[in-house]
Chain A
Amino acid sequence: MRCLLEIKEVSKSFKKDKRKVKVLNDVSFSVKKREFVSVVGPSGCGKSTLLSLIAGFDEYDEGNIYFKGEKVIAPSPERVMVFQDFNQLFPWKTVIENVLFPLNVNKKETTLNERKDLAKKYLKMVKLEGYEDYYPNEISGGMKQRTAIARALIMKPEILLMDEPFGSLDAQTRMQLQTTLIELLEEIETTIVFVTHDIEEAVVLSDRIIALGKSSNSIKDVMVNNLDRPRDRLSNKFIEKVKKVYDKIKE
């Protein structure tokens, strides 16, 4: 089976104070359709940069990124990003208007009512029924991230790129959103690349975990995670898995 996303020997450096600082060094991996891949690693290991290269926001220096066999050169609605920042919603739009935004500006051949029904459906999926007409500053951080996920999903992207989307949430809300995301995966067919520094989160969500190292700025290990779903965070197998991943990225 051909891979949806292929990352081949990608390197990237930034200029900082006139010095070149390498953030990604010779990174290669691939992601299959409908796969959930997490990228874990300490801060500064380049995991967010990697995601932004896949999204097409940034250019890479060396190597290649292929999406559906074609080189990634620019952002595209097929690869939609969900950010960590609560500000990713437009404050001047209500929850439903935010979700409708990508559809409205792209003028898909649907009526406004059809689009609204679709937006309501996605808001229901992320458990935001009844909050359609709230403005972002009137809802909690968790609800903002739910809205952002609905807005990304309504585009029916081939691949969803999630850059620590639950990183700014409190532990309890984070778990609730993880549960919602797992439930979503049963309803929609999408591939996900999920960046996080929370190992437990990676183990609970993903099929495969890629560990990035900070000193090498490259892949230290790729681990298959085939624990049975639904995953029980208190089971021995789960705790063992977490420990295993933790050992890998420990430096």
Chain B
Amino acid sequence: MTNKFMDNKFIIRLFWIVILGIIWQVIALSEVFNLTSFPRIETLLASLIKDILNGDIIIQTLYSLSLIFKGLMLGLIISIILSGISMISKVFEGFVDTVIAIAHPLPGIALLPLVILWMGIGERAIIFIIVHSVVWPLTLNLLAGFRAIPNIYKQIGKNYGLNSLKIIRYILVPASLPYFITGLKIGWARAWRAVISAEMVFGAAGSAGGLGWFIFKKRVFMDTSGLFGGLIVIILIGIMIEDLFFDKFEKMTIKKWGMSI
């Protein structure tokens, strides 16, 4: 049953991608737009394959992903600490709540000029922006998750003689998993956008500048099909993470357990 659904979803995706591709090709061939700004599909694919073969796009993508990974991990740790102390102390809860209210609406890219002033340019600043995009939605979701845990779980924990730490470890953490996954999904999506935008503003940081820098370079050298290649990679990675990673993970956990929110 589940397998069939997965196949269906995959087929639906593929179907619409093909349709969109056909529409694209029809518009390109009609030459309503200049072919430089609206290249044909085969030109796009040829350019993408060229960039894959010379390794450039792969190196840049891996670099961007490594930045995201670092930022996500750091954001995760900070979120757990922030939501943890909020659960323990009322004073901190107010503090964390206020910080989120201030910081959450700020787009990471708007902070960029300030971040450059504080920590200079390069990897650290980009990671800072990623952490900023991840921490607030994740903390909000973790807090919502902790608050949504039925009181009965805590009572059961106490009843079976668990101390506070064990209650957190064995009960609160798994019980808030659905919220945690939602937070992580939002965090990932924001981090991915943040890293691309930040890389487009910065130059090459060290040996690679990331996918954003790749796209920026394609823009300034007017390599439109190369630019689309970068966009295709962004889309593919987005679909892979959303459809494959998160979907699989949810199916293995909260969907199997009937816990999805």
A residues within 8 Å of B by Cβ?
Answer: 55-57, 74-77, 79-81, 83, 85, 87-88, 90-92, 101-102, 105-106, 135-138, 155
A92/B155 in contact, CB under 8 A: no
Whether the pair B258, A80 counts as a contact (CB closer than 8 A) is: no
Task: Say whether, besides A90-B175, A92-B259, A136-B258, A57 and B155 are in contact (CB < 8 Å).
Answer: yes
Q: Does B161 contact A (CB under 8 A)?
A: yes
Q: Is the CB of A91 within 8 A of B259?
A: yes
Q: By the criterion of a CB under 8 Å from any partner CB, how many residues of chain B are at the interface?
A: 21
What 10 A-B pairs are tightest by C-beta distance, nearest first? A137-B258, A102-B160, A75-B158, A91-B257, A77-B161, A75-B159, A92-B174, A92-B257, A91-B259, A57-B155
Using an 8 Å CB-CB cutoff, how does the interface string of B106-145 with A read, 1 for contact, 0 for none?
Answer: 0000000000000000000000000000000000000000
Q: Could you tell me the distance between the alpha carbons of A135 and B252 in the complex, rounded to whole angstroms? A: 12
Instruction: Assess the A87–B253 pair: CB atoms within 8 A.
Output: no
Q: Please, which residue of chain A has its CB at the minimum distance from the CB of B177?
A: A92
Q: Does B219 contact A (CB under 8 A)?
A: no
Write the nearest CB–CB distance from B176 to chain A, whole angstroms: 11
Check B245 for interface membership: any CB of A closer than 8 A: no
B96 interface residue, CB < 8 Å from A?
Answer: no
Known: A55-B159, A90-B175, A135-B257. 12 other contacts (CB 8 A): A56-B158, A57-B159, A75-B159, A80-B160, A85-B152, A87-B152, A88-B152, A90-B174, A92-B175, A105-B162, A137-B259, A138-B258
- Bound-complex Cα distance A138 to B175 (A): 18
C-alpha gap A91/B171 in the complex (Å): 11
B249 interface hit (Cβ, 8 Å)? no
Q: Can you list 6 contacts pairing A with B, beta carbon distance less than 8 Å?
A: A81-B156, A92-B259, A105-B170, A106-B160, A136-B257, A138-B258
B162: nearest chain-A partner, CB-CB: A105
- Measured between beta carbons, the chain B residues less than 8 angstroms from A55 are 155, 159
Scoring B residues 170 to 205 as 1 if CB is less than 8 Å from chain A, else 0, what string do you get?
110011010000000000000000000000000000
Kindly report which residue of chain A lies nearest to residue B171, judged by CB atoms: A90
* Cβ–Cβ < 8 Å partners of A80 in chain B: 159-160
Given contacts A92-B259, A101-B160, A135-B256, contact A81 B155 (CB under 8 A): yes
Complex CA gap A83/B158 in Å reads 14
Q: Chain B residues near A88 (CB, 8 Å)?
A: 152, 156
Q: Is B150 interfacial (CB 8 A cutoff)? A: yes
Max chain A Cβ within 10 angstroms of own Cβ: one of B152, B155, B160, B259: B160
Closest to A103 in B: B160
Q: Write out the residue numbers on chain B whose beta carbons fall within 8 Å of the beta carbon of A105.
A: 160-162, 166, 170
The residue in chain B whose Cβ has the minimal distance to the Cβ of A135 is B257
> Shortest distance in angstroms between A74's beta carbon and chain B's nearest beta carbon?
7
Decide if B15 is an interface residue (CB 8 Å cutoff): no
- B10 beta carbon closer than 8 Å to chain A: no
> Across the two chains, which residue of chain A brings its CB closest to B166?
A105
**Contact A76-B161, Cβ < 8 Å, known A90-B171, A91-B257, A137-B257:** yes
> Which chain B positions have C-beta within 8 A of A74?
158
Question: Closest Cβ of chain B: how far from A85's Cβ, in Å?
Answer: 6
Most buried by B among A57, A92, A135, A138: A92
* Cross-chain contact B155 with A75 (CB below 8 angstroms): yes
In angstroms, Cα B177 to Cα A239, docked, is: 50
- What 0/1 readout, one digit per residue, does chain B (229-261) give for beta carbons within 8 Å of chain A? 000000000000000000000000100111100
Chain A residues within 8 Å of B177, by CB: 92
Would you call B33 an interface residue if the criterion is a C-beta within 8 Å of the partner chain's C-beta atoms? no
B159: chain A residues within 8 A (beta carbon): 55, 57, 75-77, 79-81
User: At the interface, yes or no: B95 with Cβ under 8 Å from chain A?
Assistant: no
CB <8 Å contact, B258 and A135: yes
Q: Which residues of A contact B171 (CB under 8 A)?
A: 90
Residues of A within 8 A of B258 (CB): 91, 135-138
In the assembled complex, the Cα of A138 lies from the Cα of B256 at a distance in Å of 9
> Smallest Cβ distance from A95 to chain B, in angstroms?
12
How far, in Å, is B166 (CB) from chain A's closest CB? Answer: 6
Contact (Cβ within 8 A) A83 B257? no
